[in-house]
Amino acid sequence: EEERLGRGRGGDHVERAEGATILRMRPSSSSSETGEEGFSASSSSSSSSSSSASRREAMRQQVSSVFGAAAAAALFTVSGRRDEAQAGLFPKMPGETPQNLGPRGGGNLALCPETPNCFSTTTPKEDQVHFMAPLKFNKSPDEAWSQIVKVIETYPIPNGGIDGGGKKIITLDNEKKYLYAQFESKLFGFVDDFELSMATDQKAVYLRSASRLGDSDFGVNSKRINWMLNELKLLGGWDVKPVEGA
């Protein structure tokens, strides 16, 4: 879970851009730094003379700016140690299931929202934030589909902590060659929607991976996608290009 809160959607730390504050939540035997038992915080920009109250309020405001007021309220009002938090003291925030999911003509999927925590092969190349190349294959469509479904089914949880809440394959239509899965963070239960759709005449698989909440995902969608692409490359007969995280 080491990546998730930093993503803007779940986990246990926030990392900002160069020169900005880095916030980390970690177990503590003392409540003197935070005013809440079991959590302490460190900030690269906080001076040693800052009071614990002002440090905590600054942290709350920054978490709120990234994740929203609800996430900040949950994080800074729930007491308890890390294992207790992971046991369910934090409310889950999956967000609403998007209404634009599903395959379009030619295997295309939905475009991404304006937020950078999404990749879609349907995105025009000019949009370098959201664009990723379709997954090309030089084998039969049935063999290619079977391989990529197997990769999703065997995806390791938590995969370095980025998907500690698990995965669910919601829709698997082998006839239409469409797959829809959800990946969940451990701490807050934030959900990412993941889709695959094959265009058999193009010998290509279209992919879309998008976070429901937050803004930047701190590279989590790209890590998940690139793990899958690497697995396909190892199988041979796939032409795939890695993506770079936001």
Q: Rounded to an integer, what distance in angstroms lies between the CA atom of residue 213 and that of residue 207?
A: 19
**Residue in this structure with the two tokens 């030089």, named with its chain if needed:** 138
| Mean pLDDT along residues 38-58 | 48
**Residue in this structure with the two tokens 């995902």, named with its chain if needed:** 217
pTM across the whole model: 0.65
The pLDDT score that the predictor gives to residue 78 is 43
CB 182 within 8 A of CB 194: yes
The pLDDT score that the predictor gives to residue 65 is 64
Q: Is a pLDDT exceeding 70 seen at residue 144?
A: yes
| Mean pLDDT along residues 179-202 | 91
The pLDDT score that the predictor gives to residue 205 is 97
Q: Is a pLDDT exceeding 50 seen at residue 40?
A: no
Q: Which helix or strand (DSSP H or E) is residue 58 part of?
A: helix 52-67
- 200 pLDDT band, cuts 50/70/90, is very high
Do the bridges between strand 238-239 and strand 204-211 make them parallel or antiparallel, or are there none, so unpaired?
unpaired
Q: Rounded to an integer, what distance in angstroms lies between the CA atom of residue 159 and that of residue 28?
A: 26
**Residue in this structure with the two tokens 């001076």, named with its chain if needed:** 47
